[in-house]
Amino acid sequence: MSWLAGKRLLVTGGAGFLGHFVVQRLEALGCRDIFTPRSAQYDLTRMDHVVRLFQDARPQVVIHLAARVGGIGFNRDKPAELFYDNIMMGVQSMEQARLHGVEKFTAVITVCAYPKYTPVPFREDDLWNGYPEETNAPYGLAKKMLIVQAQAYRQQYGFNAIALLPANLYGPGDNFDPQRSHVIPALIKKCVDAVEDGRNEVPVWGTGAASREFFYVEDAAEAIVLATERYNKSEPVNIGASQETTIKELAEVIARLSGFKGKLAWDPSQPDGQPKRYLDTTRAYREFGFRARMSLEEGLRKTIEWYRANRSLAAAR
């Protein structure tokens, strides 16, 4: 029985894409007192709402997943909103956790926090060796400040806060909105829709040369819960799948799995984003025994199947 099972838990963003799987994982451990706030009732950018949330939830453990996120285009169009919303949600949530005597605070950051030209694989010690890629720097830096806050609070207050850096997430239930989705759901939607509409060309942003590490959402949920159970140190920890894939390779696999046999029309006038992203996950395995299990191809197949079976739900989200 996990020590988490008897605790009151607050999972911000618990009703979202990643949060849904984190809550499932916690329930599988025997956790029954899990508070998952909705943004309609609790706006985490407002301190009065955050105070009310902690008064209502009375948590002993907090897993902070809430974030405002999007793909390259959304980051390019909304940099100020992404910076403000994400920094306010994180800073205020951790401060109220401290004031309310929370025992453990798990902050989930982002791979976008890394410098643009970080050597691959990205190691946690490289986090401060440069500025993030410009298109997502405001978002990445806002989330990165949670690492600073966690370390400062541990030093001054003895507050047990940890920080995790996940690779690019994907999986069933992802955001397929063309204006806000990341690369995998965007490509899945384009390819599946093209097959059904009989179109023989799919537009794809960039050159395809950039590389990414894609992390299946159920693996990510397992890593977050394991770290919450077992990790209690100040150093941030990468969590990922330990597999690097170019966007060109990714697009070709998605086209094949979705049955699209037409042309992938690359548009080099659109940005590639960060040149490379691939995480060294040695620390995660050493500190709390996490190793990803889902292969990229199998994860993509499951995600495509989910999208085909849940088109109306995906559109509503």
Phi/psi-derived region of residue 20, left when phi > 0, alpha when psi is between -120 and 50, beta in every other case: alpha
Question: Strands 245-246, 211-212: parallel, antiparallel or unpaired by DSSP?
Answer: antiparallel
Structure tokens at 304: 């495509």
Neighbours of 152 (CB within 10 A): 14
Task: Tell me how far apart the alpha carbons of residues 315 and 317 are, in angstroms, rounded to a whole number.
Answer: 5
The torsion of the CA quartet 216, 26, 237, 234, rounded to 10 degrees, works out to 170
Structure tokens at 75: 């980051």
Structure tokens at 14: 């618990």
Residues with a catalytic annotation lie at 139
Please report, for residues 69, 90, 150, 156, 298, the alpha-carbon distance to residue 66 in angstroms, rounded to integers and kept in the order given. 9, 8, 16, 25, 27
Structure tokens at 312: 């109306």
Task: Tell me how far apart the alpha carbons of residues 68 and 299 are, in angstroms, rounded to a whole number.
Answer: 24
